[in-house]
């Protein structure tokens, strides 16, 4: 299945977006780098037809790299984040880019209000908090919540070091999951406690879905 635009063009659009203004460490706010977001979304569309013409939820959307990328590939997107400041940046990005197909909702993705969307979305995309800030396990709680809201598949980025643990959880939940891309994520020194300029970490793009 072809995508409505070339990978390079998609990446170019994502490079234009603004990032978090004052990233909040407790919410693990760092953007998905444009090349990672572009390749992840392009893979979802060209390999699985997961975006064009689909209802898509971006869980923990931040400034919106995954939301806008999915919208550019033809999805109708609902972008959710708990943080009003991040959503202000997303709104500015929306105004600057004229990408209309992104609706914004401020809510706690792990709270009870999201259950009204049970099985509503075709596709859920996310780069969840990795769970390294006294919030161990939040990545899997995001993944589980995404599965509840999707009637098809969830595409989620996770540190490769957690692969075995995720495999175990997926089995426990009785769902299917595969790593569909192995990526390297150049995490910039966003926070004061980062001693190096950037850290290169291995990241898996998972596709998880209910058994057919
Ligand atoms: C690693 S960042 C990813 C941002 C964006 N999706 C991207 O890919 O560039 C994780 C995001 O999850 C949001 N977040 C953390 N906990 C949340 C929660 N309980 N509900 C909704 N959003 C949350 C943070 O504010 C942050 O924007």
Per-residue pLDDT band at 196 (split at 50, 70, 90): low
Question: Does the CB atom of residue 5 touch ligand 1 within 6 A?
Answer: no
Atom of ligand 1 nearest to the CA of 37: 8
- Taking alpha carbons only, the member of 60, 93, 92, 95 closest to residue 78 is 60
| Residue ranges per structural domain of the chain | 7-21+30-209
51: left (phi over 0), alpha (psi -120 to 50) or beta: alpha
- Taking alpha carbons only, the member of 78, 68, 50 closest to residue 10 is 68
Nearest CA to ligand 1 atom 16: 27
Nearest CA to ligand 1 atom 12: 60
Q: What is the pLDDT of residues 22-59, one digit of tens each?
A: 999 999 999 999 999 999 999 999 999 999 999 999 99
Q: Which CATH architecture has domain 7-21+30-209?
A: 3-Layer(aba) Sandwich (3.40)
- Given a cut of 60, is residue 7 above it in pLDDT? yes
Per-residue pLDDT, 212? 75
Query: Are residues 118 and 148 in contact, defined by beta-carbon separation less than 8 angstroms?
Result: yes
Question: Does the CB atom of residue 105 touch ligand 1 within 6 A?
Answer: no
Atom of ligand 1 nearest to the CA of 60: 12
Q: Is the pTM of this model over 0.85?
A: yes
Q: Pocket of ligand 1, candidates 60, 125, 186: which has the most ligand atoms within 8 Å of its Cβ, to mutate? A: 60
- Distance from the CA of 86 to the center of ligand 1, in angstroms? 9
Per-residue pLDDT, 171? 97
Per-residue pLDDT, 132? 76
């Amino acid at each position: 299945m072809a995508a409505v635009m070339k990978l390079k063009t998609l990446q170019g659009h994502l490079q234009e977006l603004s990032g978090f203004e004052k990233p909040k460490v407790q919410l693990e706010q760092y953007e998905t780098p444009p090349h990672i977001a572009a390749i992840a979304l392009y893979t979802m569309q060209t390999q699985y037809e997961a975006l064009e013409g689909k209802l898509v939820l971006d869980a923990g959307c931040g400034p919106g790299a995954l939301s806008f990328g999915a919208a550019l590939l033809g999805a109708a997107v609902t972008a959710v984040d708990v943080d009003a400041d991040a959503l202000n940046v997303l709104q500015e990005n929306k105004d600057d880019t004229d990408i209309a197909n992104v609706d914004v909702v401020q809510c706690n993705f792990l709270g009870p209000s999201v259950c009204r969307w049970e099985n509503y979305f075709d596709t859920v995309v996310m780069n969840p908090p990795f769970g390294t800030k006294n919030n161990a396990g939040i990545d899997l709680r995001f993944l589980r919540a995404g599965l509840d809201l999707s009637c098809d598949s969830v595409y989620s980025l996770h540190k490769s070091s957690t692969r075995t643990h995720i495999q175990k959880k997926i089995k426990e939940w009785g769902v299917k999951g595969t790593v569909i891309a192995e990526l390297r994520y150049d995490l910039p020194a966003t926070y004061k406690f980062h001693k190096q300029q950037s850290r290169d970490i291995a990241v898996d793009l998972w596709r998880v879905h209910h058994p057919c």
